[in-house]
Structure 1
Amino acid sequence: VTMDFFKALNAGDYDKARTYTASEQAEAYVNLMDYFGSDSVQGFTQEEAAARTTKIASSEERQDTVICYVETTEQPTDPTDSADVFKQKVVLTKVDNEWKIVDIPMK
């Protein structure tokens, strides 16, 4: 679920990304990404989105919760620069017997 969520975000498919959420906070995160990806804001170009990769660095299972630690790497546009790595904590819980994202702290 976490990887599908980030694949949808990286592809700009915000409606699909919302299907993996089950809280106002997680949906607000998607809405923020949607806003920055909109035509009215200087968002990510398709090339920049294609240069972004996401992986789950680690995860913890707790009774009815899974915490994923996700790393997103953005390749630099200038070859002399280094890649940017963003680390995020993603919390999932079961809702109607499906795992859903309920918390993504915004930094």
Structure 2
Amino acid sequence: MTETGYLLAAVAVCAGITWALRALPFALLSRLRDSPVVAYLDTAMPLGVMVILAAYTLRGVDWGASASLVPTVSALAVTVGLHLWLRNAVASIFAGTAVYVAVLALVF
């Protein structure tokens, strides 16, 4: 059986490493706040995330079947239109998802 002191030391080392890894991003964030790269990512990432989500969603669509085409196209139109109007990625994604689910429920 392993000694209690050894187990306590192992737990302390694991806790210290976990705490350090979780605190490290916050320590580095203060140095990166004025970085032009972070400023660019702040403006480009919401659109980039939406493009990735749209590409992932549209890759599996059967463009020949109207049962899958109608919900997809209507949700895509709502998502793009709302994003161009409000410039709010969260509202666009939620509204597009809601329209997709609603139209899908009406079609089937």
TM-score normalised to the size of structure 2? Answer: 0.29
Q: Which has the higher contact order (CA 8 A, sep 6+)?
A: 1
**Richer in helix (by share):** 2
Per the normalisation by structure 1, the TM-score is 0.29
Structure with higher Rg: it is 2
